[in-house]
Structures are given as C-alpha cells and as structure tokens.
Structure 1
C-alpha cells in the first residue's frame, strides 16, 4: 500500500513543500517542512494532525520553501522534535544558517497567535481574524539543537531509518539519498519497502553548474540510460515547476554571460546592482561565479573599479560550511582545491603560471574555493548602511529572495529611487493569490507587463539584451517589533496558558513519563518477596502515578510528593535529598533513567567540547565565571543555572568581519558588537507584537531577469520522465497551469492515463491539490494460504544478501473451490466455499457459503516430476559490476574494468551487464582437454552463480 497526500505546494503559487507518504503497516513519512514569506501557521494545520503518527521526517533542500517551518514545528508542535529526521550533511549545516538568518532578520517569522487567543483557532481564512501578537521565536541556541538532532546521511548510502517511539515498525524499509542538484546537498529520495519503490524528486536540476553538480539520474553522471535504481519505480513524485516553460539560456555558459552583461551595463552607468538571492543555498553558486569573474577582470576597468558585497547575516557561517563541504560540490571545484594543494599535474603548473602573471600585474588570486578576496561579507545593518551611502559603483548580493526581509529589503529601498541602478531577478516569482504578495512577486509582474518600455542594451561582443523601465510607486510593508499593552499581554498570557495545558494533556504519550511508570512496575516485580501489605501499598502507588500521568493537567490532577516517592529527585526542581531509611522496593535506591546514546554505525558522535586543550578549557571557564559574577573561593548554589553559553569563535568572527570590509571605518568591530548586543536584547524583550507601516517608494531603477534558479525546465522533464518510465506519476510543486501542461506532455509521451484532482482507481498520472489523498499502490493481487506440514518440510530456503527466497509449488485441496469477488473498495480477495450438492438442497433455501482459509498441499510424486521437467530455473538477485570486480580481485583473479562497463577477467573472459539487469559472460569455449581460459570461464560463472539464488520449479 502506498498513499500520497500533498499537505502544501500542489497546484499552488506558493513554493512551500510538504508531503506525506503512507506505506504498508501504518508507516508515515513526512517529506519537507516548507514555508513561504507569509509565515502563516495555518499552512501547518494539516501537518500538525499527523505528527503523533509520523515514523520519520526527510528534508530535501536547505531553503525556506523546504525547511522554513522546521524550527517553528520543533518548538511549538508537541512531539515533533521527537520524530527522527534525516538529511544530507550540507542540508543540515546550511539549513541551520538559513533559519538563523531568517529569525534574526524579520520579527514576522515568529508568527502570530490567533485573534481569539485559542490554539485551536488556526484555520480561519480571513487575515482579519489574526492578531499581531507574536509567539516566542526559536532562539539561535534552540535552532542549533534542533539541527544537531538530525541524522546526517551521505549520497548512495542505503540506510534503515529508526522510527519514532510512537510509530509502527518499518518492516525492512530502505532509505537512500541521491544528488538532486539545484542546491548543495539537495536530495532525490529513494524509498524501498517490499514491492513499493518510490522516487521523490522535487526541485532538481540535471545540468552541471559552477559549484553544484547535476542530478544523479544517469549512471556515471552521463549517458542515455537512467540508473537502474531509478528505473520503473512504483511511483515517481516529481515537481512540475517550469513544466510549461523552456529555459531562456540553452547552457550554463550562456546564462553566466547574460548575468555578466547586465552587471557590466549597470556599473558602466555609475549605478549599483542589486541581486536578491537566498542566504545559504543558491548564493554559493552565484557568489562563486562572480568571484571568478572579478579575478579574471584585470583588463576590464568597469568591473575592476567596482566593489562587490555579499550581504547576509549568516555570511561568514555559510562560507565556513562551504569550505568544509567541497566533496559535495562539482568535480571542477574539487580539482581546483587538489591542484592548489600542490599535486603534480599539468593544471597545477598552469595555475602557478597564471598566478605569477597576475601577481606581476598587482592582483592576487584566491588560494582556496570560497576564500573570497573580492567579495566582502556584510552581516550587520550599520555596515550595510555605510556602504549604501557611498556613490561608488557596487554589486550587492543580498538575502532574501522575496525582498520582504533581510538585507535585500534595505538595499532595495536605497537603490530603487535612482534610474541608473539595476535590480536583477534570478528566479521566477509568480504573484500569489493572497492579499499581500511578496515584493519580488510585484517586481516580477512589472517585468512581465513592461508598461513603461524597455531599454535595449548592446554589449561589447555584439549581444543585445533588455532591461525594463519602471517609473512606478512601490508599496512595501515594513514590520517593526513593539511591546504589548495591558490588554494584549492578558491575551498573550491566556494563549500561553491554554497552549501549555494542551501539551500537558498529552503527557501520557511522552515516552519519558511512561518509562517512569514502567520502571515503577518493574520495581514491584523485583520486590515480590516483600510482605503482602507492603506489596499492595506499592502497587497502589504505582496505580496512582499511572492515573495521574494519564490524566495529566487535563483535570488538574496533581501528583503528591508521597506518590512520587524517590522519583521526586527527578521530577521536582531544587530537591536534592530523599530519606531511603526503612524504604523497600524502588524507593530504596536512587532512581535510574536510561538515556539513549546518540550515534551511528561508526560509533558515538564526536563532541568537540570534549577534546579542548587545557588552556582553551580554562579560558572558557574563566569567561563563564566572569559572566556569572563568580570569583575564586566563592561557593555556588545548588540551583544556580549557567546561562548564555560560550559562543565559540565569536571574537574571531568579528575580527574577520572587520578585516573583510576595507571600506568600513575603524570602529567596525565595535559596531558589530553593538549590533549583536542590540539583536540579543531585542530577542529577550519578552512578549511583543508586530506593527506594519506602509513605505511608499518611487521606484525608478531598471529591472532585468537572468534565470539563476538552477531548476529543471520543460525540455529536461520531457526527456527524463520517459526514461524513468514510472508505473505511477504524481505531479506536485507547481502552479495549476504548469501541472496541467506537464501532465498533458507525459500523457502524449508515455501513453498513460491522466486524472484530475483527487484521482481515481486505475489512474497513472495524478495531479493532486492540497489535501487530496492519492492511492498509488502497485497493482497486484495477493491472497493468504496455509501450507501443510508436508509441504513446509520440503522447502529449501536460499539467502541472497538480506533476503531469504524459496519457490513453492503445490495444489489446493480438492474439497474446496475458489471464488474471486470484489468488495466495496474494489479490492480483490479470495473467498473459498464448500462444494454443495444441489440434489440435497431443499427448495426455498439458499446456498450458504462458508469462508475458510485455503490450504496448499504438496504435489504427488508423478505430478511433481512432470512439472520439474518443464520448468526452467530462475536466477534471483542483483549483481553490481563493481562488486564483481572486487570479488574477482580478492579471489586471486586479475579483473580490469574497461570502458562501457565491461569487466575483463584473466584477460580471456568478458563480463557485461545489460540494461535489463542480465549478466552476460563471454569467453573461450570449454574444451575437453581443459586449459587456462576454460578454467577461468568456469570459475567466473561459478562465482557469479554463488551470488545469485537459483529458483527452480
């Protein structure tokens, strides 16, 4: 069984992605926890209903549209943080910096409480029913802890995920991540369970880029054959974004050249260029390319005299992670780093030669990828204001893409009034259907309307390109954080109290409280040799604890200290002593709570704080004592809490920030410290609200568009989906027009049946809307039979990897017949009835059918011999050429892998694997006299057969 539910992002202009996959046995998988620039909690209402039954969560990309609501759900949705989460290493690292940048840039990301102050009132569709009172936003430390709990994965690494403690068992489910392109660490998920093979591919890009490698659809990264793991899956869940559009640029080179032409045009008019982009994902591709352009611009006076900045509050952290994730990038980036380390290659000599020539011209070359020399990192608002106040031509790469928050909003307000300035849109931002669409959507609509004409520019190489004149008024809503008044504070406290009561009512589902109850019951079993009076008294206390924990705070039932017993040391704060004299059972010893050790198949996770040098540890302790006003010789109190943990590398980060920007004044470090202090104070102000002010801007800057999104287009979708040839195709992640266009194309290419929203039985192409449940199970008929003892004794099991395989040949009992009927759900099942004699049936009576389980018995000797002579043996299993190469070399043979995937063994035997999975062995004929070639041929076939299971009739 496989059911798919689109919680968000299906046939919608919103790019927020949330999908629910339900497999056989009650296994539920949530893929992505996306959000959009509205930060509306009503988008999470359907998600919250399924949290208590989720098995695990998958994250696909490190963007707001794929994990923007992750920290919010961990903080405000009960039990969400207890569900295991899986993602690749770059998604974990870059996703953390993305959310830290989000929550530090706009107060609206904290979301609002309902107008009625009731947590259940989250489904209203009218914006007027929402209040402007903010919920507590996740702190930077909490965001770090949430992402630290994610289990990191590598590409092509099959993993058996661990379910949540309230989930059904996974029954051998295998999870594998593959490269999706588009972002660093972007993932195509392959989920295998039983007969279901599901490929989840949303927002992928097949072409290679400057930093990001292309999606790994094809074996070896190229060719015309799709990798075997993606071939003919049960279901392909694919995004329909750009399903009706063809890329404007046919290649990456044309796209890069178009961007440089627009930048050079804006700078040649002594203007500034603003490029909005996300804070941690696509910004790596854009910044790496522009740094390379500035390195090679020694003869270009326009670029040489201009400054380039990357304005994002998580800029240094993003680049730090990028430097440690080079193995996840395209091969060209890896080769660049390897050559720089001094490997003896021809490219190394050329690199040194270019470096010497550039040093002679007075320029410097970067030593490592993302060690930028031309791009300056801007993190604080004050430094950005200083840079915007100058008239020097400059290029600003700013977050965020929506232009509603982050440094891109501030830069837009400064750049917009001047007609010589230029704003380059890098993604298609279709206008939303909400009342307040994003600023980027408004500018995209202006770019498409072109009401005030177009400026035709011509580059030095003869190419013509367009820039759209604006001359219109732009209305921007500026959010600001304000303290609550008396009435609003009462509503806020009412909401928090109600929310806390709802959480406490679910305390019986919390594993830690249930573990204490089970521990109390186990203690009773150990003290079973006590007197009956003591035993009855202890059992009564256990029942009291269980009842109290079950009811929780729902009926305001309080647990007394006597009922808690020795557990009071764990359950109550500032209690450090308990009298165990004359106590029996569990109250006689200190309570023990088992804590799971986090780790993977390689061992425990490494904690950097456990490997500090002695001088580093002393320095941290001194700083901690200074913050807590602790002096040597002073006694600490038992209940003293250590707040404000040390932020490692903060001082070094500030120094790097001040050095990176040569245009800033000498007090840039003090400005950075003051900005961080102001931000920390603002986050600790307590309850607050958001007040929106309309800011009207006379927008005179020109607009341009260069598709730097790194997403698939109509051509790549039409080429790849027929090669994958899925049994079921589910289209999500695009608008209604894009989804309909792609569904029509797939119908023509594959000859599959297309259905509308909701789907129907027998359909093969689905285009669901938000909330629709799609039954995309594989079309098979299964029946349950009972084997006789005689048949079971004859079974010969064979092992292939982790599977046990057996062939069964038998016959049903002669006294029963099978009658296949259809039930109400059109699902087929077997119903067996006893044979009745019509002569013995009385007139006026009906034949009563008795359902029974069919019995499969062994065949007689003569029938089994005739069937065995007709049936041919079948080889079951899957052999990889790489595995055979290692197997032959380890067994003493000489094996070499040639071009085309052909394996040559001992120079005489060739082993090839056909696209249908069949392994072909070619070699010299086996002679009666033998020979080395004949021996190798027989040995190769024998070793191949040993890796397969021979199933015969």
Structure 2
C-alpha cells in the first residue's frame, strides 16, 4: 500500500521567507517548522489561524526565530494543542531566542504579538528528543515514526526522518551544513539510503562559499584595522545559535598573545547572554568531536570564556572600555541591541559594522549587504523612554487613585472576613473569653471598635496576599554581603548579577515613541559569511549521492529553485515539485490512488481474520458517490466551517452488493512465512524437523515443506496423522480469506 503524501507551503513561506510547511501523510498533518521574521504579516497570521485546528504534530529543526518564531503565537494566541518535537538544545536555546526577541521588541514598542507567558506555555509542550531517538506518533498518527538526525548549522540542529511503516521514508532537510565547524559536527546525510521523498531548501543553490581560512582572515583583518584605528566593531549575530561559533573563535583569538588583541575589549550583548553561555557549557555532548575530546581529556570547557564579557544592557556595555568588539543581537538589525549600536556607531568612519548572515529581503541588514554603506538611509526609530514632566505626574496620579481604590476594596473584604472568622470561633466555643453574645445589642454611647480579637492579649496578624499567594518581604530573605577571599577569576566576566539578566522595565513608567530619522552610514560595512549552511555546489553533490525518488524544493529564489529542479531531472531522474504560496503539492508515489469510506452496513458484514501484525478481511462491494455530511466539515479557529472545494462535498463510498450471495473467489493466504520460524513452531509441538537442501523435512523425512520461486509454500508427503497435524500448524501461520 502507498501513502498519500501532500505538502503545502503556507502564505509567506515562499521565496526567502522563513520555513513553515504542512506535510500530510495519509490524514496526519505535521507542521514542519513555524518560522517568523520581522515580516510577520497579517496574511501569514490568518493562514496560521485557518490551519491550527488540523495540525496533529509539530517538528522544529533549529532554535532560532527563523524556524520557531511563530510557536508562542500559535500556542498562546491561537490555542495550538498537539505534540511538539525538538531536540534538547533546540528546547533550551529556543527559549533564549524567544525571550531575547520579546524583550528586544518590548524595549522599542508596545509589543503584543505574544508574551513571555506565551513563550513558556509553548515550550512546556515540547517533547525533548536525542539524536537518532525514534518516536512513534500516537492517536491519529499511529504507524508514523519520527527520528531527529544531526544537521549541523546550529546546536541541536535537526534533519527529520519521517517513516511510514513498510511504505515511505520522508527526509526534511532545511538549512543543513555538511562541513565540520569549530563547535559542531556536520550532518550525516550520506548515511541515509535512497529516500522516497526529500524535502530540501534551495536558499544557497546559487551561492559559492569562500574557504574557511579566507573567511577567518577577512574577519581578523577587519577587527584589527578598526581597533587600531581607535574604532569599535559591531558584529550582528543571533541570540544563541551561530553566536556560539563566533564567540568561541574570537575568545580563542584573544587568548593568543601574538594576535595583538589583548589591549582591546570583547563583549557579548543580549538580554540573556549569561544563560546562553551557561547552557552552552552544559551541552558539550551535542558539539563537535574535537571539543568533546578536549573536555573529556583535559576538562577544558570551550565556553569557559577568558576574555568575553557578558552584558545585558546598554548601560553595562558603556562600562566596557573602548575600543571594543561587540557581538550583539539581532542579526537583521531590525530590533534589539544591534540596531541601537548601529544608530550610535554608523556615522563614525572609524567604526565597522560586520553582518554575519543574509537575513530576509526588506531588513536593514539585507539592505546594507545589497547596497553597501557610504550613503544616507531613512530609518524608523522606535524607543521606549521614561515618562517626564506632566506625563509622569499624570501617571503617578492615576497610580495613586488605583492604589487607594484597591486598598479600600481590600479593607472592606478584610472586615467582612474578620467578622465571619469571629462568629465561627464564637459558635464553636474554642476560647474561654467570649466577646459577643449572640442576640445581645450594644447600648453603649461610644461606638465599639470593629476589630475585636477572641483571645486576650493575643493579636492575630492578617496575612497579606494577592492572586499569586502570600506577599513576600524581600528583607526577610536578604543575606549579609560576603566578600569572597578567593583568587580573581576573570573567566566569564559578568557585568551584572545573574538574577538581573532581563531588566524589568515594566516597573518604570514608560512610553513608546516613533521617530523618522535619516542616518549617514560612514562606518565600514562588510558581510562575512558565518551562516553555517552548505553551499550550492555541495548541495547538488549531496542530491546526486542520495538519489531520492521525489524531491520537493522549498524556500529560495526562483533562480535557485530552478537550478535544483534541473539538476534533479537531468542527473537523478527524480520527480521534482516546487510549491507556490498556498499551493498543495501531491507527492504521492502512485498517481491513481483514491480514498474511500466504508459504510456501517458493509463493515458489519466483514469477517476479520487475525494476521501477523493486523486483522484483514475480504471485501465484496461497489463504489458510489455520497454527499459529504455537514458535521464532517473541518472547522477553523472561530468554530466556523472551512471553505471546501466542490470535489470535497462528494465522498467515494464502498457499499454492500445488492445481491444476497457474494461472488466466489480463490482462497488467499496472507503472510510472508519464513521456514526457520515454522521450524520453531514444529519444535514447540514436539514434531522433529531439519533443513536439507533448502527443504524443511518433518517426521523423519516423510513430510517436506519447501518454498518455490514465486514465494509460495508447498507441503508434500504421505497421508498420515502427522501430515494433517503439520498442515494444520502451517494454516495457523496465515490469515486465510
């Protein structure tokens, strides 16, 4: 049997946009990545909303926002509720990416696409896997197995292998890297046998990479020239992926006394830099063989940095002496600290801006790569600033009113609660002093105090609490400052304490402002490739080596996709598909396959026989068209019927034959019996047997069981009690229809 395989690229997930595809195997729908960049447009959000209720599982390939950025929105705002699979580093580093992305946007604007709670909710749903760990899907996905394989590119990067038992093997390989790097091994695609379907991106199909030594020398030269010219270097990097390769490389350069870099500063600037480095230290087993050997032998942790200073705000960075090299997020220069530093440093010709990855078209980084510097650029500058003057006074006035209102409301509730407690204590008679007597009316001139306590002189302190529980007083838990007498350890210099990694700007009264500015780019702008992807030539060689039967090309320019399509058709004779936005590709290996439904009347007549792995039955029926039932329609997120094609309103249905007597058919024996297994069956029933010349001889050679060319089993021998016993045992190994 052949599975029905379809793939749909969601709107926006075409061209060079982030990957987001729905793979359908039979009726199981798997979301392959759910990426997001600065062009998280409304059409893409509507597309996610239309499909969220039909997704049965999600597979995440890498921890960056390009591959999982829409996950908090899917879970937190659209209510995605299905298993999400990723490797352990993708889970840990992915959280760092999303925390940093949220904080970067919140520091610029009133960001409400998702919240930090949405990030936590999304990652709580992730099922963490190790490489080569096969997992069988449950429920609707029964029969499908997924396996994560090493992909290179980023820590925990994954090539997904999706298997349908005994039928299809599908490989989803996006942004992989076959080359070894300083901190990662390459992918292992060469170990895969010829897959049924290979889903691959064409992003780098037209790109030719420089040699690693040339690239590193280019970076080193740029840094040295800028620093010696008393300038600063901004290196735009991601949060917790490719930054590890650059941070490890630069820290090693700083350790080399002959490099001439010890006189200058090196810093990593993002909202979660401390956590990123700590996570990297604990995930050495996911990195390159060279780093693992170094760690296991000399116990040298490659991410125990000597010279890299970790900063979490612009204020901390200002304390780092200049000239300096700063690794700042985000790589597209659209948000985060990299954009702030670009605005500060771009007008100084002594400074240098290094872009390490080709981000999506339309971003500032891509504009600088395509058009260079030495020109004026119009930018929209968004900032969150403190309230001042009349705005601050107005804010404080509203806060006081709100606080007074809350206090009054709390006081009324507290009084009512105290009265209830007093009456309950009096009625139970738990104390020997009774304050009130039931039914007695006070005749005193002076009004009695409302708060009275049932036992003198004890005074019960009311416990203050809010919706999160008892209010904690920080002074109760404050420890005395202890001055450490240990040696001055410069490893992993942290400008800020661990608990202050993400500044809580919500405590300060702030507002967001938007300015249109024209900036003059005088700083040197250079693109140096640290993307960690296989280039076009290597990609074509890998395709020739794998020789997949079918190929779906996704994510790339029209030119790069045409190169992959031409190569597959001419060199490996494979069927090639390239979906457009919203188009559904039918990649089923057999073209004349139809799905039919069985009526209840037909199912009730079936006589199932138990086989080796399943139950089977012979069906005599005829095919008819039936109108689709209203309740069978798929519903969207708003619980409204989804639009369906005209063909979807009619369903192919198998119905019983009108004749009372079904037609006769030859007996069918279902199983692939191995004679060695049948020999064990005979042994358990105390029937002696042995192999001779490929024939299984039973009962002292009087009965022969042999396999002929077409795979059928023949039983020969003298009619006897043993013959019928052997035949009965042989029949039991089959489902007979």
Alignment of structure 1 residues 777-788 onto 2, 5 Å: 777-779=588-590
Indicate which of 266, 270, 283 corresponds to 1:325.
283
Note the aligned Cα RMSD (angstroms). Answer: 4.6
Deviation at 1:178, TM superposition (A): 0.8
**Aligned mates of 2:558, 2:182 — CA distance in 1:** 32
Judged with a 3 Å threshold, the aligned counterparts in structure 2 of structure 1 residues 444 and 831 are, in CA distance, closer, same or farther, namely same
Match of 2:367 in 1: 442
- Give the alignment partner of residue 244 of structure 2, picking from 263, 284, 287: 284
Rate the CA distance shift 1:474–1:711 in 2: closer, same or farther, 3 A. Answer: same
**1:478 and 2:389 aligned:** no
Higher helix share: 1
Q: Verify the 8 A CA contact 2:36 2:70 in the aligned structure 1.
A: yes
Shift of 1:713: 1.3
Q: 1:408 and 1:638, CA in 2 relative to 1: closer, same or farther beyond 3 A?
A: closer
- CA positional deviation for 1:950: 12
Q: Secondary structure at the match of 1:692?
A: strand
Aligned to 1:182: 153
Match of 2:340, SS? helix
CA deviation map 1:378-437 (0-9, x unaligned): 1112122344xx5x332111111011211111222232122222222212246x3xxxx3
Distance 1:852 1:175 in 2: 45
Other-structure match for 1:743: 565
CA distance in 2 between counterparts of 1:950 and 1:649 reads 75
Change (3 A) 1:644 1:182: farther
Does residue 374 of the first structure (1) align with residue 307 of the second (2)? yes
1:566 is aligned to: none
Alpha carbons 1:833, 1:851 under 8 Å: kept: no
User: Cα–Cα, structure 1 residues 678 and 637, in superposed 2: closer, same or farther, change >3 Å?
Assistant: closer
Counterparts of 2:518 and 2:227, CA distance in 1: 26
Match of 1:397 among 304, 315, 327: 327
SS at structure 1 position matched to 2:135: coil
Partners of 1:150 and 1:872 lie apart in 2 by 39
Instruction: Say if 1:381 and 1:675, in contact at 8 Å, map to a contact too.
Output: no
Q: Distance in 1 between matches of 2:220 and 2:286?
A: 26
Alignment partner of 1:306 is 2:264: yes
1:175-225 deviation digits (Å, cap 9, x = unpaired)? 111111111111111112242322111111111111121112133xxxxxx
Q: 1:289: Cα distance to partner?
A: 1.2
Given that 1:245 and 1:713 are in contact with CA atoms closer than 8 Å, whether structure 2 keeps it comes out as yes
Describe the SS at the equivalent of 1:96.
helix
Structure-1 separation of matches of 2:660 and 2:134: 43
2:517 is aligned, of 695, 704, 715, to 695
Q: How does 1:468-617 map to 2 (within 5 A)?
A: 470-481=373-384
- For 1:644 and 1:39, the matched residues in 2 are separated by 39
Task: Show the counterpart of 2:8.
Answer: 5
What is the match of residue 173 of structure 1?
A: 144
**Among candidates 396, 406, 416, match of residue 346 of structure 2:** 416
Q: Determine if contact 1:107/1:479 at 8 Å carries over to the other structure.
A: no
Matched position secondary structure for 2:30:
strand
Q: 1:724 to 1:854 in 2, by over 3 A?
A: farther
Change (3 A) 1:135 1:638: closer
260 and 643 in structure 1: CA distance in 2 versus 1, 3 angstrom threshold: farther
Q: Which residue number corresponds to residue 424 of structure 2? A: none
Q: CA deviation at 1:102?
A: 1.0
State how many pairs are aligned: 576
Give secondary structure in 2 for the equivalent of 1:697.
strand
SS at match of 1:22: strand
Q: Helix, strand or coil: the match of 1:765? A: strand
Matched, 1:232 2:198: no
Say whether the 8 Å CA contact 1:790–1:858 is kept in structure 2. Answer: no
Q: Assess if the C-alpha contact under 8 Å between 1:202 and 1:238 holds in 2.
A: yes
The yes-or-no answer on 1:857 pairing with 2:655 is no
Aligned to 2:273: 315
How many Å separate the matches in 2 of 1:40 and 1:108? 21
**Which position in structure 2 is the counterpart of 1:407?**
337
CA distance in 1, matches of 2:469, 2:59: 34
Q: 1:791 to 1:472 in 2, by over 3 A?
A: closer
Deviation track 1:791-843 (CA, whole Å, cap 9, x = no partner) reads: 988x8x55xxxx5699x9x9x99xx999xxxxx99x9x999999xxxxxxxxx
String of CA shifts for 1:333-378, please: whole Å, max 9, x gaps. 111111123xxxxxxxxxxxxxxxxxxxxxxxxx422110111111
> In 1, distance between residues paired with 2:143 and 2:108?
39
Report if the CA contact (8 A) 2:72-2:121 is conserved: no
Q: 1:646 to 1:5 in 2, by over 3 A?
A: farther
Corresponding residue to 1:679 among 505, 509, 528 = 505
Indicate the SS of the match to 1:309.
strand
Equivalent in the alignment of 2:66: 65
| 2:112 is aligned with 1:135 | yes
Shift of 1:20: 0.7
1:248 to 192, 204, 210: 210
Q: Which one of the candidate residues 177, 181, 185 is aligned to 1:205? A: 177
Q: Distance in 2 between matches of 1:232 and 1:182?
A: 22
8 Å CA contact retained: 1:106, 1:405 = yes
Query: How far does residue 663 in structure 1 lie from its aligned partner after superposition?
Result: 10
1:726 corresponds in structure 2 to 548
Cα distance, 1:695 vs structure 2 = 2.6
Q: TM-score scaled by structure 2?
A: 0.68
Residue 676 and residue 724 in structure 1: after superposition, are their counterparts in 2 closer, same or farther (change >3 A)? closer
- CA 320–679 in structure 1, closer or farther in 2 if over 3 Å, else same: same
Matched with 2:390 is none
Q: Which residue in 2 is equivalent to 1:90? A: 89
What is the alpha-carbon distance in structure 1 between the residues aligned to residue 608 and residue 72 of structure 2?
53
2:122: which partner in 1? 146
Whether the 8 Å contact between 2:374 and 2:522 is mirrored in structure 1 is yes
Say whether 1:23 aligns with 2:22: no
Partner of 2:585: 774
Whether the 8 Å contact between 2:464 and 2:471 is mirrored in structure 1 is no
Q: Show CA shifts across 1:586-610 (max 9, x none).
A: xxxxxxxxxxxxxxxxxxxxxxxxx
Pick from 349, 353, 358 the counterpart of residue 428 of structure 1.
Answer: 358
Query: Which consecutive residues of structure 2, in runs of 5 or more, have no partner in the other structure?
Result: 388-419, 421-458, 624-646, 678-732
Q: Give yes or no for the alignment of 1:270 onto 2:204.
A: no
SS at match of 1:477: strand
The verdict on how the C-alpha distance between 1:3 and 1:482 changes in structure 2, with shifts beyond 3 A counting, is: farther
- Structure-2 change in CA distance of 1:373 and 1:663 (3 Å): closer
**Aligned partners of 1:377 and 1:660 also within 8 Å:** no
The 2-side partners of 1:875 and 1:33 are apart by 50
Note the C-alpha offset of 1:649: 14
- Which SS does the other structure have where 1:857 is aligned? coil
Change (3 A) 1:162 1:482: farther
Q: Is the 8 A contact 1:311 1:377 kept in 2?
A: yes
Instruction: Tell me which residue corresponds to 1:765.
Output: 576
Deviation at residue 872 of structure 1 after TM alignment: 11
- Residues 471 and 642 of structure 1: CA distance in aligned 2, closer, same or farther (over 3 Å): same
User: In the alignment, is the contact (CA less than 8 A) between 1:196 and 1:777 conserved in 2?
Assistant: no
User: What residue number does 2:162 align with?
Assistant: 191
Is the CA contact (8 Å cut-off) linking 1:876 and 1:951 kept in structure 2? no
CA displacement at 1:259 relative to structure 2: 2.3
SS of match in other structure, 1:751:
coil
The answer (yes or no) to whether the contact 2:565–2:576 under 8 Å persists in 1 is: yes
Equivalent position SS for 1:721 = helix
Looking at structure 2, the residues matched to 696 and 144 of structure 1 have their Cα atoms a distance apart, in angstroms, of 38
Structure with higher Rg: it is 2
Give 1:661 deviation, angstroms. 9.9
- CA 1:240–1:639: 2 relative to 1, 3 Å: same
Question: Shift of the alpha carbon at 1:641?
Answer: 3.0
Larger deviation: 309-318 or 773-782? 773-782
Deviation at 1:134, TM superposition (A): 4.9
2: CA distance between counterparts of 1:736 and 1:280?
A: 31
What's the CA shift string for 1:764-816, capped at 9, x where partnerless?
211111211111112176799999x99988x8x55xxxx5699x9x9x99xx9
Instruction: String of CA shifts for 1:630-661, please: whole Å, max 9, x gaps.
Output: xx963447975338999999999xx9xx9869
